């Protein structure tokens, strides 16, 4: 098995995910499988403009605000990743099929896939379970290890990683300009 091995997601389909302390069922859907409607773009703009998500993830990239152009670009980029088998974005859908979050694996290097995520504050309590599901599908697809990089002070993200048995390991801190800590889990 050489380093040219890439993940095999041929088994993938939408998954149900539970929201902590809520009865509703949400779902995790590969970006390639969602037929994008206007309201999806609007909900991405709304979520990514929320102070918490915007300030942790998009302020540097979009200093004048997160726009419809950013959301359209994100959706196209997300679909392209699946088409090229290079990176893998999943949308998180509410029971009424609105996008309220996203979680992704940022490369096709099965030796170490970096994960990232955001969840609208109106739907908090989903990230931990979304990452649990992502760990399972990543393992099945062939990944050996997942890691995440967090900025200084991002307590909530750290808590999501801890609850998923990630352990701190600075070997996986690649983006030192942006991030302060790194966490990994062997699958
Ligand atoms: C980090 C982030 C994804 C967390 O999303 P989340 O869905 O709220 O995370 P969790 O699954 O841990 O759920 C947390 C909530 O569920 C509740 N909860 C978690 N575990 C629980 C448990 N075992 N029992 C009861 N309640 C629990 C907590 O009270 C918490 O609510 P609070 O935030 O009001 O304290 C989200 O805050 C976010 O998008 N932040 C900005 C983007 C970002 O930082 N991304 C990561 C970059 S590395």
- pLDDT score recorded for residue 105: 98
The ligand 1 site (C-beta within 6 Å) comprises 20-21, 52-53, 56-57, 116-119, 124-128, 148, 150, 154, 156-157, 159-160
With the most atoms of ligand 1 within 8 angstroms of its CB, the residue from 54, 129, 156, 182 to mutate is 156
Of 9, 10, 39, nearest to 105 (Cα)? 9
Q: Is 147 exposed, middle or buried (0-12, 13-18, 19+ CB in 10 A)?
A: buried
- pLDDT score recorded for residue 4: 58
Contacts from 67-74 at CB under 8 Å and sequence distance 24+? 68/41, 68/42, 70/45, 71/41, 71/42, 71/44, 71/45, 72/41, 74/44, 74/102
Q: Report how far ligand 1's centroid is from the alpha carbon of 124 (Å).
A: 5
- pLDDT score recorded for residue 3: 52
Contact 159, 150 (CB under 8 A): no
What residues of the chain score a pLDDT lower than 70? 1-4
Report the predicted TM-score, pTM, of the whole model to 2 decimal places.
Answer: 0.95
- pLDDT score recorded for residue 106: 98
Q: Report how far ligand 1's centroid is from the alpha carbon of 22 (Å).
A: 13
Which are the contacts of 164, defined by CB distance < 8 A and separation ≥ 6? 128, 131, 132, 135, 185
Distances from the Cα of 138 to the Cα of 6, 124, 127, 145, angstroms: 11, 23, 16, 9
With the most atoms of ligand 1 within 8 angstroms of its CB, the residue from 128, 164, 168 to mutate is 128
Q: Report how far ligand 1's centroid is from the alpha carbon of 121 (Å).
A: 8
Which region holds residue 87: left if phi is over 0, alpha if psi is between -120 and 50, else beta? beta
The CA distance from 40 to 72, in Å, is 10
């Amino acid at each position: 098995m050489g380093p040219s091995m890439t993940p095999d997601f041929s088994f993938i389909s939408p998954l149900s995910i539970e929201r902590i302390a809520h009865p509703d069922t949400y779902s995790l859907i590969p970006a390639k499988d969602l037929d994008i409607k206007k309201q999806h773009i609007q909900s991405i703009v709304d979520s990514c403009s929320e102070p918490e998500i915007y300030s942790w993830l998009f302020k540097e990239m979009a200093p004048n605000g997160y726009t419809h152009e950013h959301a359209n670009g994100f959706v196209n980029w997300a679909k392209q990743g699946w088409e090229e088998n290079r990176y893998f974005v999943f949308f998180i859908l509410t029971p009424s099929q609105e996008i309220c979050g996203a979680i992704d694996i940022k490369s096709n290097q099965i030796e170490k896939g970096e994960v990232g995520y955001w969840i609208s504050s109106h739907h908090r309590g989903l990230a931990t379970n979304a990452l649990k599901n992502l760990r399972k599908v990543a393992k099945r697809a062939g990944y050996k290890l997942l890691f995440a990089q967090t900025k200084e002070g991002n307590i909530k993200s750290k808590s999501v990683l801890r609850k998923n048995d990630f352990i701190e390991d600075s070997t996986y801190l690649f983006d030192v300009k942006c991030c302060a800590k790194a966490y990994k889990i062997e699958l």
